[in-house]
Amino acid sequence: MGFSKFESAITGQIASLFQKRGTVEPSALIKALEREVVMQEEKTDNGLVVPNDYTIYLCEEDCHRLSATRIFKALHEAVERKVIRENCFMDGNLSVRIEKMYEGNEVIVIKSKYIDDVRVDENTINLENDVISNTLVAQKTLVEENEKTIIADKGDFNTPTKTAYPRQMEYEIAKLTLQNDDSKEEFILGEKQFYIGRKENNDLSIADESVSRIHAYISYERHRHIIHDANSLNGTYINKKLIDKQELKHGDKILVGSVLVTYEVI
């Protein structure tokens, strides 16, 4: 599916009034990114969609201070969770990066765009300032209403670069809650397929005769959790409606056999 590429900037006004250059907190960064996701929603024939590529520009001090693996994990999860809460979709791989703002007085500037085909190995770390990135930026200058960015493909370099080996990121996006008589169990959902059923080796194993051995499974498609009934004997219900396949929304009640499970965005 082809999208026309566009970019938009939001200034530091969306950050806390007490924030200034050099003192941006991770919570302000997350709120700014979440707002950008909502601002760029677009209606298409395939549903409401949002951009899949985000570049956050900060002053040099904030850039180095906030360019850490845990921050990037939180930013990635924030976007994924916002997509679900807004009942949107996202096509292609999600990319979030932080780069240094060379000019401008804003606290935070975010550029977002649609990329039809993002080539992603896995999230990697740029050891120079601990930035997660999938590309090397050879030269960049940010000026008011005019941006020039030259992206150099890693394959263009013959000499070794300061990048770590790719490594897998485990994201925590939503959870399933199984309520028992006196307690409850919670199961984290990320981007991996998740199986529900009576068999002990399921991700969510339910020891109830009304539940089939493999009753249902949850996939991750277009950055949404999709539940599929696995030809179960007693069926899978979402909010009392029998389903074969359906996108999950925050607060959905899933009936597996006679056992009730709740889906929630973290």
Query: Per-residue pLDDT for 65 more than 60?
Result: yes
Query: Per-residue pLDDT for 23 more than 90?
Result: no
Which pLDDT score, from 0 to 100, does residue 155 have?
Answer: 43
Q: Alpha-carbon distance 38 to 58, whole Å?
A: 21
Which pLDDT score, from 0 to 100, does residue 149 have?
Answer: 38
Of 40-44, 46-50, 125-129, the range with the lowest mean pLDDT is: 125-129
Which pLDDT score, from 0 to 100, does residue 117 have?
Answer: 60
| Residues with Cβ within 8 Å of residue 241, at least 6 apart in sequence | none
Q: Alpha-carbon distance 178 to 258, whole Å?
A: 12
Confidence band (pLDDT; 50, 70, 90) for 132? very low
Query: Per-residue pLDDT for 227 more than 90?
Result: yes
Which pLDDT score, from 0 to 100, does residue 3 have?
Answer: 41
Confidence band (pLDDT; 50, 70, 90) for 179? confident
Q: Determine the longest span between alpha carbons in the chain, in angstroms.
A: 65
Map tokens 């990635």 to a residue.
Answer: 76
DSSP track, 134-159: SSEEEEEEEETTEEEEEEEPGGG--S
| Residues with Cβ within 8 Å of residue 13, at least 6 apart in sequence | none
Which pLDDT score, from 0 to 100, does residue 261 have?
Answer: 96
Rounded mean pLDDT of 185-196? 96
Which pLDDT score, from 0 to 100, does residue 169 have?
Answer: 78
Most confident of 60-64, 82-86, 130-134, 143-147: 82-86
What are the tens digits of pLDDT across the range 77-115? 999 999 999 999 999 999 999 999 887 778 899 999 998
Which residue did the predictor score with more confidence, 183 or 210? 210
Which pLDDT score, from 0 to 100, does residue 233 have?
Answer: 94
Ranges of H-type helices in 90-240:
none
- For 266, the token pair is 């973290």
Of 23-32, 126-135, 194-203, 255-264, the range with the lowest mean pLDDT is: 126-135
DSSP state of 192: S
| Residues with Cβ within 8 Å of residue 87, at least 6 apart in sequence | 48, 247, 249
Which pLDDT score, from 0 to 100, does residue 21 have?
Answer: 66
- For 45, the token pair is 């024939």
Query: Per-residue pLDDT for 150 more than 60?
Result: no
Confidence band (pLDDT; 50, 70, 90) for 17? very low
Ranges of H-type helices in the chain:
26-39, 60-66, 69-85
Which residue did the predictor score with more confidence, 79 or 131? 79
Helix (H/G/I), strand (E/B), else coil: 252: coil
Query: Per-residue pLDDT for 6 more than 90?
Result: no
Query: Per-residue pLDDT for 22 more than 80?
Result: no
